[in-house]
Amino acid sequence: MKFLIRIFTVMAMFVATSALAHDYTVGNIKIDHPWSRATVPGIPNGVAYFVLENTGNTDDRLLSASSPVAKSVELHTHIKDGDVLRMRHVDDIVIPAGQTVALEPGGLHVMLMGLHQALEKDSSFPMTLEFENAGSVTVDVQVQLLTRSRNSEGDGGTGHNSHDHGSHDHDDDEHGDHDSQAAHSHH
Q: Which residues bind Cu ion (CB under 5 A)?
A: 76, 87, 111
Return the beta strands (E) in the chain as ranges: 23-26, 29-37, 45-54, 60-66, 70-81, 84-89, 93-95, 100-103, 109-115, 124-131, 135-144
Q: In the complex, what is the shortest distance from the CB of residue 60 to Cu ion, in angstroms, rounded to a whole number? A: 22
By beta-carbon proximity to Cu ion, the closer residue of 26 and 101 is 101
By beta-carbon proximity to Cu ion, the closer residue of 52 and 65 is 65
Q: In the complex, what is the shortest distance from the CB of residue 72 to Cu ion, in angstroms, rounded to a whole number? A: 12
By beta-carbon proximity to Cu ion, the closer residue of 26 and 70 is 70
Which neighbouring-strand residues pair with 89? Answer: 76
Answer yes or no: are the C-beta atoms of 35 and 48 closer than 8 Å.
yes
Q: In the complex, what is the shortest distance from the CB of residue 78 to Cu ion, in angstroms, rounded to a whole number? A: 8
| Rounded distance between C-alpha atoms, residue 30 and residue 40, angstroms | 30
Q: In the complex, what is the shortest distance from the CB of residue 118 to Cu ion, in angstroms, rounded to a whole number? A: 18
By beta-carbon proximity to Cu ion, the closer residue of 28 and 67 is 67
